[in-house]
Amino acid sequence: MASISNTILYVSQKVYGKLGLYSSSIRIWESLFALPFAYMGMILANQSWPGLEIFIWITAAMFGARTLAMSANRLINAKEDSLNPRTQNRHIPQGLLNSKEVLAMMGVGLIIFLVSASQLNTLALALAPITAVYITIYSFAKYYTWGCNFILGIALSIAPAGAWIGVTGQIEWQTVLLSAAVALWAGGFDIIYACTDYNFDKENGIHSVPARFGISGALKIVKVMHSLSAILLLILAIVLSLGYFFYIGWFIAVILLIYENRLVNPNDLSKVGIAFFRVNSYISIQLLIFTSLSLVF
């Protein structure tokens, strides 16, 4: 993962200058995790394409939320990032961005998020400040509880729920199924990634599932979480009477989850980068594609 980040950082500096630094700081490419699920929530809520205007505002809301959350994360974790060999190449430790610039990014992200929510419906706007607070402060969790990985999973699960509400203006119980599946999936892959910081976290009093239960125990927990996530997605398909294309996507997702969990073991964390970014990106993108097809055919 470090080599990928360094390459993207170098290219962004050369091509886009300061704007590229802002984009790489919030790891915009990791939007491939949550954004497809937001679009899933959007089309499932409407049972079809909801129109270009709603699509644009949901996309803008997602961009604003990610900018706010990741900028806050970089600011909150700046001190520890400068000490951790894995994160010393990040923008604040390297002096590429300063705290004021990152704080300004938070402000821009918050404005985009709130304005976008206001263009969707009243409930979306009413819930937006609560969401903004949650995704801003979740980065503090690892200083206080080993449940921080679950808290991050919940943060990502807001994406499909928010998109659903953005379309319907209502909180519906089907939304809970989709969001719970995403929370378990995302919390699981965050635990996998946290395994790479096991020694640093233990030495510096940082909380995480691996630090609490050991790498072996943590990976067992991930298997349970990903199994439950797959079950919830299957229940969602049955409840919403989705077409057979969704089941194809679901089956592929299950295979990819099995592959992801087999890539990493307590004695070999060398493939965490593949498991964390590449496999999870495939899972979310192909699920969106097959969900869309299931509503068309």
Unique residue bearing structure tokens 């949550």: 34
Does pLDDT of 72 surpass 80?
A: yes
Percentage of the residues of the chain whose pLDDT score is greater than 70: 92
Contact call for residues 216 and 268 (beta carbons, < 8 A): no
124/170 Cα distance (integer angstroms): 9
CA angle 216, 139, 277 (to 5 degrees): 55
Q: Is the dihedral of CA 131, 135, 136, 139 positive or negative?
A: positive
**Which residues are paired to 268 by β-bridges?**
265
What pLDDT is attached to residue 95? 86
The span from the CA of 232 to the CA of 184, in Å, is 10
Which residue, among 228, 219, 158, has the nearest Cα to 193 in the 3D structure?
219
pLDDT score for 92: 86
**What stretch of H or E contains 67?**
helix 52-76
Q: How far is CA 201 from CA 5, 81, 213, 222, in A?
A: 21, 12, 12, 19
Residue 259 confidence (pLDDT):
96
Task: Give pLDDT, residue 17.
Answer: 66
7 falls in which pLDDT band (50, 70, 90)?
low
Longest dimension (CA), the chain: 54
Structure-block tokens of residue 51:
């129109």
Higher pLDDT among residues 85 and 24, named by residue: 85
The residue type at 81: D
Q: What is the arithmetic mean of pLDDT over 149-171?
A: 97
- What is the average per-residue pLDDT within 109-114? 98
67: confidence class by pLDDT, cuts 50, 70, 90: very high
Q: Is the pLDDT of residue 233 over 70?
A: yes
- Interatomic CA distance for residues 225 and 232, integer angstroms: 11
Of 32, 80, 35, 41, the residue nearest 179 (C-alpha): 41
Q: For the chain, what is the mean pLDDT? A: 92
Mean pLDDT across the stretch 137-142? 95
For the chain, the helix, strand and coil percentages under 3-state DSSP, each to the nearest 5: 85, 0, 15
Domains of the chain by residue range: 35-296
Instruction: Identify the pLDDT of residue 2.
Output: 53
- The pLDDT assigned to 105 comes to 92
For domain 35-296, give the CATH superfamily: UbiA prenyltransferase (1.10.357.140)
> CA-to-CA distance for 92 and 82, rounded, in angstroms?
8
Q: What is the pTM of this model?
A: 0.91
Q: Give buried/exposed letters for 95-123 (b at 16+ CB in 10 A, else e).
A: ebbeeebbeebbeebbebbbebbebbbee
Tell me the three state secondary structure of residue 265.
strand
Q: Phi and psi dihedrals of 268, rounded to 5? A: -150, 100
**CB of 54 closer than 8 Å to CB of 38:** no
Q: Give the contacts of 147 (CB within 8 A, at least 6 positions apart).
A: 141, 207, 209
